[in-house]
Chain A
Amino acid sequence: MSHLRSLDWRRGAIALAAAGLATSCTWEPRRGEPAEEKELVVTIEPRIPLLATYPCSSCHATRTPQPERHPLKEFHAVRTFDFSHGDDTFWCYQCHSIRNLDQLVTATGALVSFDEAQKLCTSCHGDKLDDWKRGMHGLIVGEWNGPRTKLSCPACHNPHHPRYPTIEPEKMPETIKPMTPFGAK
Chain B
Amino acid sequence: MNGCHTEPEAAGALPLPDARAGQLVELRRKGETSRRDLLAGAAAAAATATAAAGCDITSVDQFLQKHYSELTDEDKKQIFARLEAQVKERSGVTVKISDPQPIEGVTFGYALNLSICNGNRRCVEACARENNLPNHPEEMRYIRVLEVPNGAFELEKSDPYFEGEVPKSGKYYLPVQCHQCANPPCVRQCPCEATWKEPDGLIVVDYDWCIGCRYCQAACPYHARRFNYGAPTIEPDRINPNQAYLSNRIRPVGVIEKCTFCLQRTRVGRFPACLEACPTGARKFGDLNDPNGELRKILATKRVYVLKEDLGTIPHFFYFFA
Interface residues of A (CB under 8 A from B): 31-34, 37, 131, 134-146, 151, 156, 164, 166-176, 178-185
B101 within 8 A of A: no
Contact B287 A34 (CB under 8 A): yes
**Neighbour of B281 across the interface among A31, A156, A166, CB < 8 A:** A156
Contact A143 B271 (CB under 8 A): yes
Contact A136 B280 (CB under 8 A): no
Contact B269 A170 (CB under 8 A): no
Q: Tell me which residues across on chain B come within 8 A of A179, comparing CB atoms.
A: 217-218, 223
Q: Tell me which residues across on chain A come within 8 A of B226, comparing CB atoms.
A: 176
Write the chain A residue with the least CB distance to B227.
A179
B125 within 8 A of A: yes
- In angstroms, how far is the closest chain A Cβ from the Cβ of B96? 20
Q: Tell me which residues across on chain B come within 8 A of A140, comparing CB atoms.
A: 271, 281
Q: How many residues of B contact A (CB 8 A)?
A: 60
CA distance A178 to B144 in the complex (A): 10
Contact A167 B120 (CB under 8 A): yes
Interface residues of B (CB under 8 A from A): 103, 105-106, 113, 116, 118-122, 124-125, 135, 138-141, 144-146, 155-156, 158-167, 176, 217-218, 223, 226, 266, 269-271, 276, 278-281, 284-287, 289-292, 294, 297-298, 301-302, 322
B122, B269, B289: most-surrounded residue (chain A CB, <10 A): B269
Contact A137 B217 (CB under 8 A): no
Q: Check A33/B105 contact, CB under 8 A, given A134-B297, A136-B298, A183-B156.
A: yes
**Neighbour of B118 across the interface among A141, A145, A164, A170, CB < 8 A:** A164
Q: Check A144/B271 contact, CB under 8 A, given A135-B294, A171-B163, A172-B145.
A: yes
Could you list some 11 contacts between A and B, CB below 8 A?
A: A34-B106, A34-B290, A37-B290, A134-B294, A135-B297, A136-B301, A139-B278, A139-B279, A144-B285, A172-B160, A175-B138
CA distance A135 to B266 in the complex (A): 18
**Neighbour of A167 across the interface among B118, B138, B141, B145, CB < 8 A:** B118
Per DSSP, are chain B's interface residues mostly helix, strand or loop, or mixed?
loop
Contact A183 B280 (CB under 8 A): no
Write the chain B residue with the least CB distance to A131.
B322
Q: Tell me which residues across on chain A come within 8 A of B160, comparing CB atoms.
A: 172, 176, 178, 183, 185
- In angstroms, how far is the closest chain A Cβ from the Cβ of B148? 9
Q: A32-B105, A174-B161, A175-B138 are in contact. List 5 more A-B contacts (CB 8 A).
A: A138-B281, A140-B281, A168-B164, A171-B163, A183-B155
CA distance A33 to B288 in the complex (A): 10
**Neighbour of A137 across the interface among B124, B146, B281, B289, CB < 8 A:** B281
Q: Tell me which residues across on chain B come within 8 A of A181, comparing CB atoms.
A: 156
Q: Tell me which residues across on chain B come within 8 A of A137, comparing CB atoms.
A: 113, 116, 281, 322
Contact B281 A169 (CB under 8 A): no
Contact B291 A169 (CB under 8 A): no
Q: Tell me which residues across on chain A come within 8 A of B116, comparing CB atoms.
A: 137
Q: Check A33/B290 contact, CB under 8 A, given A137-B281, A146-B269, A183-B159.
A: yes
Contact A182 B156 (CB under 8 A): yes
Q: Tell me which residues across on chain A come within 8 A of B146, comparing CB atoms.
A: 183
Q: Tell me which residues across on chain A come within 8 A of B266, comparing CB atoms.
A: 144
Q: Tell me which residues across on chain B come within 8 A of A135, comparing CB atoms.
A: 284, 294, 297
Q: Tell me which residues across on chain A come within 8 A of B286, comparing CB atoms.
A: 144-145
